[in-house]
C-alpha cells in the first residue's frame, strides 16, 4: 500500500522539478527587471513570420505544367491571373478601409504635427490584454497612447516587442492612467474589468467633472480626449470626486486604432 | 528522433495555445472556450507521461515570452500545475463525471488565477461558472470522440 503511494508520488517528481524551475525563472525575471522574458521576443519577429507569404496565395505550380498543351497553359495562366487579382482585391479592400478610417480620424483630430500610425488587433491574451500590430519597427514605446478613429484614447502600450505590442485597454488588469480635466484637476483612472474608476487626486471646488484629457505632464505625447464624465453619477467626498463608469465598448477586429507619434 | 518528437509536440501545443487566444478574441460573450486548457486536462487525465513535461514547459515559456505581460515562468507553472492536479485527482479518486467536472473547475480556477487575483468576484464569477459548463461539455465530447476513434 505504502509502496503504491510512493510510486504514485514519484511520477510527479519531474513535474515538480520543472515547476520549481519555472518559479526560479520568475524570480530571476523579477529581479532582472524582465530581461529574461524579453530575451526571445527581442530577437524574433513573431507576427511578420506568421504572415502567409504572397507566394502561397498565388498559383505557383504553373511552371510544372509548362510542357503541356497551350490550352492547359493558358488555363493555368488565367487561373494565376485570377488569383493575383483576388490578392489585389483583398489588398485594395484593406487600403480602402485604411483610407476610410484615416478620413474619419482627420475629421476628429486637430493636431496634424503628429504622425498617426494605424494599428490593428491581432488577438487577446489570457489576461484580457490585446496584442496589436506594430512595435519597435515603428519606434513604439511603452506608454504610447492608442486612440480610435474619433480621436478618443482607448488605452496605452504596456509592452512593446519587435513587431507587435501589448495594449493596456480599459478592461485590462494593469490599466492605470492619469488625466486632467478642463480645470487642470488630476484624475487617476483604474479598472476593475467591468468599470472604470475615476478618482480626483487633489481637493477641488468645482461642482461637476466634465471631459478628461491626456496631458504632456504625464508623459503623454499630446492632449487627447479620454472620457466625458458629464453624464455619469459623481460622488464628492471631502472635495474629492469619484466617478464609476461601466465599460461598454470592447475592441474588435473592426476597431480602427491609431498610435500618435511625433514626426 | 526523440528531440524532433518533443519539438513537434511543443509546437503543436503552442499553436493550440495561440488558437485558444484567437478564438476567445472573437467571443464577446461572458465565457471562454479554453481549448488549450482542455488539452492540458486531457494530457493530465488520459495521457499523463513524464516525457510531456518538456513540451508543456517550452509552451509555457513561449507563451510567457511572447503574449504575457507577467514574469517569465508564471504561465509555465500554471500549465504544469494543471496537468499534475488533474492527474492526481483522477488517479486518486474514481474516474467519474463529478470528479472530472470538479477537476475542470479547479484547474480553470488555477488557469485564470492572474485575473482572479487582480479583479473582483463580480467580474469573473459569472464567466467562470459558464466557462466550467462549456469547457466540461467540450472535454467530455473530446474524450468520448477520441475513445471511440481509438
Using a CB-CB distance cutoff of 8 angstroms, which residues of chain B are in contact with residue A166? 67, 69
Cβ atoms of residues A138 and A262 within 8 Å: no
Residues of chain A positioned with their CB less than 8 A from the CB of B109: none
Which among A37, A127, A128 has CB closest to B72?
A: A37
Q: Using a CB-CB distance cutoff of 8 angstroms, which residues of chain B are in contact with residue A21?
A: 57, 73
Could you list the pLDDT tens digit for every one of the 263 residues in chain A? 555 566 577 888 999 999 999 999 999 988 888 888 888 777 777 666 655 455 544 444 444 444 556 777 777 778 888 888 888 888 888 888 878 877 777 766 666 678 888 888 888 888 888 899 888 888 899 999 999 888 889 999 988 988 889 999 888 877 889 998 888 888 999 888 888 899 888 877 777 888 898 888 888 888 888 888 888 888 888 778 888 888 887 788 778 889 988 87
- Length reported for chain A: 263
C-alpha cell at A189: 483612472
- Partner residue opposite B120 with nearest CB, options A19, A41, A192: A192
Per-position DSSP letters for A89-129, written without gaps between them: HHHHHHHHHHHHHHHHHHHH----SEEEEEE-EEEE-TTSP
CB pairs under 8 A between A and B: 124
Q: Which residues of B touch A125 (CB under 8 A)?
A: 21, 67-68
Q: Which of A38, A131, A250 sits opposite B67 (nearest CB)?
A: A131
CB B140 within 8 A of CB B95: no
pLDDT at residue A62 in the model:
41
Residues with Cβ within 8 Å of A109's Cβ and at least 6 positions away in sequence, in order, are A116, A151
Q: A41 and chain B: CB distance < 8 Å anywhere? A: yes
* Interface contact A16, partner B, CB < 8 A: yes
Task: Name the residue in chain B with its Cα closest to that of A163.
Answer: B66
Q: Which of A18, A46, A125 sits opposite B68 (nearest CB)?
A: A125
pLDDT, position B57: 95
Q: Which residues contact A255 (CB under 8 A, 6 or more apart)?
A: A121, A148, A154
Residue A218 carries which DSSP code?
G
In a mutational test of the B interface, the residue from A15, A41, A49 whose CB has the highest number of chain B CBs within 10 Å is: A15
pLDDT for the residue numbered A60: 44
- Residues of chain B with C-beta less than 8 angstroms from the C-beta of A24: 73
Residue among B17, B66, B11 nearest B37 (CA): B17
DSSP B60-75: HHHHHHHH-SS-TTHH
Domain boundaries, chain B: 2-145
Q: Which residues of chain B have pLDDT under 50?
A: none
Mutate: best of B31, B55, B73, partner A, most A CBs <10 A: B73
Torsion angle, alpha carbons of A89, A91, A96, A101, to 10: 150
Is-contact A149 A258, C-beta < 8 A?
A: yes
A15/B84 touch (CB, cutoff 8 Å), yes or no: yes
| Residue of A7, A32, A43, A126 best to disrupt the B interface, most CBs of B under 10 A | A126
Q: Which of A251, A18, A15, A71 is nearest to A152 (CA)?
A: A251
Q: How far is B3 from chain A (nearest CA, A)?
A: 18
Give every CB contact of residue A34 below 8 A, 6+ residues apart in sequence: B71, B72
Cell of A228: 466625458
A10: closest CA among B56, B100, B83, B88? B88
- Compute the distance between CA of residue A16 and CA of residue A195 in angstroms, rounded to an integer: 39
Does the beta-carbon distance from A15 to B115 stay under 8 Å?
no
Q: Which three cell numbers stand for residue A229?
A: 464624465
Which class is B2-145 in CATH?
mainly alpha
Max Cα distance, chain A (Å) = 88
CA distance B94 to chain A (A): 15
DSSP letter, residue B35: H
A78 touches chain B (CB under 8 A): no
Q: Is A94 exposed, middle or buried (0-12, 13-18, 19+ CB in 10 A)?
A: exposed
Ranges of beta strands (E only) in A93-233 are 114-119, 121-124, 130-133, 145-148, 153-160, 164-169, 176-181, 186-191, 195-200, 211-213, 225-228
Beta-carbon neighbour count of residue A169 at 10 Å?
25
- With contact defined as beta carbons under 8 Å apart, do A206 and A183 qualify? yes
Amino acid at each position: 500500500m505504502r509502496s503504491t503511494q510512493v510510486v504514485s508520488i514519484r511520477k510527479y517528481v519531474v513535474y515538480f522539478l520543472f515547476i520549481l524551475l519555472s518559479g526560479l525563472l520568475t524570480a530571476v525575471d523579477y529581479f532582472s527587471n524582465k530581461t529574461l522574458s524579453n530575451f526571445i521576443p527581442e530577437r524574433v519577429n513573431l507576427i511578420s513570420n506568421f504572415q502567409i507569404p504572397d507566394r502561397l496565395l498565388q498559383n505557383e505550380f504553373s511552371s510544372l505544367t509548362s510542357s503541356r498543351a497551350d490550352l492547359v497553359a493558358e488555363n493555368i495562366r488565367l487561373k494565376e491571373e485570377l488569383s493575383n487579382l483576388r490578392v489585389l482585391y483583398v489588398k485594395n479592400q484593406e487600403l480602402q478601409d485604411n483610407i476610410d478610417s484615416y478620413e474619419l480620424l482627420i475629421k476628429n483630430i486637430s493636431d496634424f504635427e503628429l504622425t498617426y500610425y494605424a494599428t490593428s488587433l491581432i488577438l487577446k491574451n489570457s489576461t484580457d490584454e490585446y496584442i496589436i500590430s506594430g512595435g519597435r519597427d515603428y519606434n513604439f514605446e511603452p506608454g504610447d497612447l492608442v486612440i480610435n478613429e474619433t480621436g478618443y484614447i482607448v488605452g496605452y502600450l504596456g509592452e512593446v516587442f519587435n513587431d507587435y505590442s501589448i495594449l493596456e485597454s480599459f478592461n485590462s488588469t494593469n490599466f492605470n492612467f492619469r488625466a486632467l480635466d478642463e480645470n487642470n484637476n488630476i484624475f487617476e483612472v483604474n479598472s476593475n474589468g467591468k468599470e472604470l474608476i475615476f478618482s480626483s487626486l487633489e481637493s477641488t471646488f468645482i461642482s461637476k467633472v466634465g471631459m478628461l484629457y491626456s496631458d504632456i505632464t504625464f508623459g503623454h505625447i499630446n492632449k487627447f480626449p479620454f472620457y466625458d464624465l458629464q453624464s455619469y453619477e459623481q460622488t464628492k467626498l471631502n472635495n474629492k470626486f469619484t466617478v464609476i463608469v461601466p465599460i461598454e465598448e470592447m475592441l474588435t477586429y473592426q476597431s480602427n486604432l491609431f498610435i500618435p507619434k511625433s514626426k | 528522433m526523440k528531440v524532433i518528437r518533443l519539438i513537434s509536440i511543443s509546437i503543436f501545443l503552442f499553436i493550440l495555445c495561440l488558437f485558444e487566444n484567437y478564438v476567445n478574441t472573437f467571443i464577446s460573450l461572458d465565457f471562454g472556450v479554453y481549448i488549450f486548457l482542455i488539452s492540458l486536462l486531457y494530457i493530465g487525465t488520459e495521457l499523463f507521461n513524464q516525457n510531456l513535461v518538456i513540451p508543456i514547459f517550452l509552451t509555457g515559456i513561449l507563451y510567457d515570452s511572447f503574449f504575457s505581460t507577467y514574469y517569465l515562468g508564471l504561465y509555465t507553472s500554471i500549465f504544469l500545475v494543471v496537468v499534475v492536479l488533474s492527474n492526481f485527482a483522477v488517479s486518486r479518486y474514481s474516474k467519474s463525471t463529478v470528479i472530472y467536472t470538479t477537476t475542470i473547475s479547479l484547474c480553470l480556477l488555477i488557469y485564470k488565477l492572474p485575473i482572479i487575483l487582480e479583479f473582483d468576484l463580480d467580474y469573473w464569477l459569472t464567466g467562470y461558472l459558464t466557462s466550467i459548463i462549456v469547457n466540461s461539455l467540450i472535454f467530455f465530447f473530446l474524450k468520448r470522440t477520441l475513445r471511440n476513434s481509438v
